[in-house]
Every structure is written in structure tokens, then in C-alpha cells.
Structure 1
Amino acid sequence: MNLSNIQLSNSFKSKTVVKVITGINNTNSCQILKIAKAANLANATYLDVVANPRIIKLLKICSSLPLCVSSIDPMDIYNSVVAGADLIEIGNYDVLYRHGIYITSTELKILIKEIKLLVGNIDICVTIPYHLDLVEQINLAQDLQNLRVNILQTEGFFIKNALKNLSSLTDSLSASLLSTYCISNNVDIPLIASSKVTSIFAPMAIYFGASGVGIGSTVSEKSSVIDMVNYINEVKNSISIYNFTHDSKLSNTEISFFGVSAFNKEQ
């Protein structure tokens, strides 16, 4: 499925997408502009920002990159599109998870239909909730394809303070990669892996069927724009080198270390 934004469509087709996330709740203009400057200098694919019209208008002046807004609030998304957002993302469910709320497939599809009525034909990315089992994730992904969603995103386990625990980080990333593999074999929509992905693991996401990665916290933790640029370039280069030297699909045998069955379109 093609995206209406040609720049984004080409990056997804070549599996070289690097989305830079400034933070779904981050409205600090100075910090956002700092990250945006680094993303521009590193020629990242696009920016993922808070659904805030003021931030969107500011970035439209200062950044040449396509802007994605992330929210689960239809009106926030609508107002951001009016302000100039280039695509939207329904996801970042952490605010729900913190309150013990887990969105269902039915609720998500109803939300998407409502948002599509508000925003028309703008490109839409939807995050597949991690708490659904793999069969449910695949079924949801196929339903979203039928709803003409343009991009899917996988997420890992929601774990409080996960960044402080290497084991938690690894578990979260493994869950995201497994979802990426299973979903990518059952739909024709490009996928982004974005849970705890680093420059070291970015090629693994492509190997598991993703068309790109989303990076956020590791970038924002850098102290200077130059450090941010260097890190974004690290991720880009690791993906480019991988794409040049490898086939980006796993076999069923290679996935077996997860201890689960792989789900393929052919089955």
C-alpha cells in the first residue's frame, strides 16, 4: 500500500526509515527544536511529535522533515492535521497502561474509523497493542489493512522504569521483534519497530521484517545537537549496511529460538 507522501513512500519501500521521536508528552519547545535540528542535519525520515498545534506550526517553520503526531484523542489529532501535520499515529498507549487500561482490538478499530472521518485521506500509522496474543495481533493487523491504514508499528512490553533494567529492555525488544516478524508475514503494510530500539539492534528489526525503526529516548538523552546527529547517523548507517549485505527476511527455522510458531501468509 502506497503512502500519499512520496518522500515517506520511497523510504518505506527501501526499508531505510528512521523516525525520530521527540516525545508524545513533550511540549518543551527548546528541546523539541534541538532534536528536530539534529534530525534535519542527519536527514532522518520524519519526526514524531506531540499532537499540539503550537508545536506543529513551530516545526513547520523550522524543519523540512515530514511531521507525524501521536495521540489517541481524535480532536487533538484533528487540530494537529489542521495545523499542518503530514501523517498521524494512533498509539503510544503508555498513558493507558499506567492506569491499568488496555485497549481492545474492537475499541481501536472504532477509534480509527472515527479519526478517518475527521481527517480524510491523510496517512495513518497504528501501533499494534503488545498485550494482545500473536494471533489477535495478526488478525488486528489484517483488519487494519482492510481499513486502509498505511503503516503499522509494533511495541514491546510496557515496563515501568524499563530503561534502568537491561533484562527488561531485552524482553521488551524481543516482544516487539517477534510481533514484527509474525505481522509482516501476514499483511502488505510496512511496519516500524520502535520499542527500545538502539543503533545495535536496528538492523535486527529490518531482519525481522520491519521497514524502519523509531528512536526517541536515546536521542533525547544526548547532551548536544552534534551527539544527537552522530547517533541518528549511527542508526541510519547500521540499517544501510545491513540492507546492502543481507536479505531482510527470516526463515521459520531462524525464528525458532523464540519457542513459538511463526505465522506465514502461505499457511
Structure 2
Amino acid sequence: MYLSNITLYNSFKSKKVIKVIAGIQNTNMYHIAQIASAANLANASYLDISANVKIVKFLKSFSSLPLCISSIDPIDIYNCISAGADLVEIGNYDTFYNNGIYINSCQLIQLVKEIKYLIGNIDICVTIPYHLNLVEQIILAQNLKDLGVNILQTEGVFINSLSKKMPRLTNSLSSSLISTYFLSNYVDIPVITSSEVTSFSASVAMQYGAYGIGIGSAIKNNSSVIHMVNCINEVKYSMYINSLMKHDNFNKTECCFTIKNNKK
């Protein structure tokens, strides 16, 4: 794993990353300040915001967390990096999807090349489009690694062909978790699970190989900073319990192995 930002490197090394998402279309400074304050108080790993220079400068004036700007516009990304953003995410394809446009692997690779040319060694996260089949997702992820992409993110979008009785949450999250499982097994790049993540699903994501999760909708609808902090802490606790369970299972396995081998 390589990350040029030392703060991000330490967060990802722990495999307990929490990315707090303010929203790519959220330009309400008061609301963004609430989310940023909650993320700071809960010791989140980093903030994900719209690629807006004013927002970057505003948050840099009081928040100590690394800032990730999300966009597919190379010029907006370049300007935000110049303003002090720490990390770039190429993703949030919702505006494309809403217009019936689905970005393909070749287009995404070309976009990454263009952005890397503009920003140099700044860390880059790329969201793997959900509409690609799993083989295409893995091949794309491997190509992105070769280009120097540092982090992958999974996404999930409502699938209309599924039963109308099945909640949107289930559809969206299932897609993201399946991608997390396969990408983490076939590509040696940290994976962030996003899309409708809750305290329960955060634990599942970690079991599926995620280095961390992106949490947005679960906190944006809360009315106060305290409620937002509690929501983030619930996710952190879920991830902590998951790490303890992994440790306990390892110890139990090791113990049983030792006992069996000591029997005469």
C-alpha cells in the first residue's frame, strides 16, 4: 500500500477507515460545517466534499482532517488541489446515471491519466462503476493500480429489475458489498465500501475485505452535531467489535492447533 499523505497512510494501515461524506452537491456552508465538526469530534479518518474551492478553503480554516474532493472534472480537481485539498476521488457518477449515461472502463482510464497529469503525486481514489460486471470491475481495478491509483471505492445503485418489495437499501448495499469482496481478493489496493452504509453493514464490509467505509446519508439527515457524532461512533464501534472478533477467532484457531499438536 502506498499513500503520499502520511495521515491517510496511518488511517489505512489500521484498516479502520471512516470517510465522512458531506455530499458532492452539498454547498450549504452551515451544513458542511456541522458535518465537518462531527467528523472531527468523532475522530473520523477524512472528509469527502464537493470539488469547490470555497468549500476547501473554508474547511481548511478550522478542520484538521484530510480533505477529499469528489469530481469528474479535471479543472475543478486541479483548482481544489491548488487550494489545499489532500486527496482526489473520481466518482459520484449519479449525474451521469440520472441522464442514462454509463461511463465505461476506457473512458475512466483516460480520465485518470488526464487528472494524474494535472495533479502529480496527489493520492487518488477511483469509484468502480457498479454497472460493470465483476470480471470487468476486477480488470479495471488492476489497470488502475498500474496507473498509480491508491484507493478503490465500491458503489451500489438501485436495481429496478429486482422485486419492488425489496428495500432500496438492500439493493444498493448488496451491490457495493459484492464488489468489495471480489476487488479486495483480486486487487492489492485498499477498498472503501460506500452506498447506504450503516453500523451493521460496516461490520459486514470489514469482513468482506474493506479497509474502511464511506458514510454519508446516515449522518446528513441528522438534525444536530451530537446526533451526527453518535452515528459515526456507532459505525466505529461496529468496526471495533469486528476487529476483536477476528482477533478472537485467530486466537481460538491458534489455541486449538497448539492443543492438537501437543497431544501424544
Does residue 175 of the first structure (1) align with residue 175 of the second (2)? yes
Residue aligning to 2:48: 48
Gapped regions of structure 1 (runs ≥ 5) = 248-267
Over 4 Å off, 4+ runs:
none
Instruction: Tell me the CA shift for residue 166 of structure 1.
Output: 5.8
Does residue 10 of the first structure (1) align with residue 19 of the second (2)? no
Number of equivalences: 244
Q: What is the one-letter code of the residue matched to 1:136?
A: E
> What SS does structure 1 have at the residue aligned with 2:167?
helix
Q: What is the one-letter code of the residue matched to 1:243?
A: S
- Give the whole-Å Cα distance in 2 for the aligned partners of 1:21 and 1:159: 23
Q: What is the one-letter code of the residue matched to 1:216?
A: G
Cα deviation code 1:73-119 (max 9, x no counterpart): 00010010001000000001001000000000000000000000000
Gapped regions of structure 2 (runs ≥ 5) = 248-264
Larger Rg belongs to: 2
Residue aligning to 2:226: 226
Structure 1 residues 168-177 or 208-217, which shifts more?
168-177
Cα deviation code 1:221-258 (max 9, x no counterpart): 111100101110111111011112226xxxxxxxxxxx
Q: What is the one-letter code of the residue matched to 1:107?
A: Q
Residue aligning to 1:75: 75
> What SS does structure 2 have at the residue aligned with 1:20?
strand
Residue aligning to 1:137: 137
Would the aligned equivalents of 2:68 and 2:88 in 1 still touch at CA under 8 Å? yes
- Give the whole-Å Cα distance in 2 for the aligned partners of 1:87 and 1:121: 10
- Provide the identity percentage: 65
TM-score, normalized by length of structure 1?
Answer: 0.89
Does residue 104 of the first structure (1) align with residue 104 of the second (2)? yes
- Give the whole-Å Cα distance in 1 for the aligned partners of 2:77 and 2:52: 8
Instruction: Tell me the CA shift for residue 10 of structure 1.
Output: 1.6
> What SS does structure 1 have at the residue aligned with 2:68?
strand
> What SS does structure 2 have at the residue aligned with 1:54?
helix
Q: What is the one-letter code of the residue matched to 1:25?
A: Q
Instruction: Tell me the CA shift for residue 159 of structure 1.
Output: 5.8
Would the aligned equivalents of 1:90 and 1:125 in 2 still touch at CA under 8 Å? yes
Instruction: Tell me the CA shift for residue 31 of structure 1.
Output: 0.4
- Give the whole-Å Cα distance in 1 for the aligned partners of 2:244 and 2:144: 31
- Give the whole-Å Cα distance in 2 for the aligned partners of 1:176 and 1:230: 24
Would the aligned equivalents of 1:124 and 1:149 in 2 still touch at CA under 8 Å? yes
Residue aligning to 1:84: 84
Residue aligning to 1:264: none
Would the aligned equivalents of 1:41 and 1:229 in 2 still touch at CA under 8 Å? yes
> What SS does structure 1 have at the residue aligned with 2:206?
helix
Instruction: Tell me the CA shift for residue 165 of structure 1.
Output: 7.7
Q: What is the one-letter code of the residue matched to 2:72?
A: I
Equivalences for residues 187-226 of structure 1 within 5 A: 187-226=187-226
Structure 1 residues 90-99 or 1-10, which shifts more?
1-10
- Give the whole-Å Cα distance in 1 for the aligned partners of 2:159 and 2:67: 28
Would the aligned equivalents of 1:97 and 1:158 in 2 still touch at CA under 8 Å? no
Q: What is the one-letter code of the residue matched to 1:198?
A: T
Would the aligned equivalents of 1:141 and 1:187 in 2 still touch at CA under 8 Å? yes
Q: What is the one-letter code of the residue matched to 1:179?
A: S
- Give the whole-Å Cα distance in 1 for the aligned partners of 2:227 and 2:157: 28
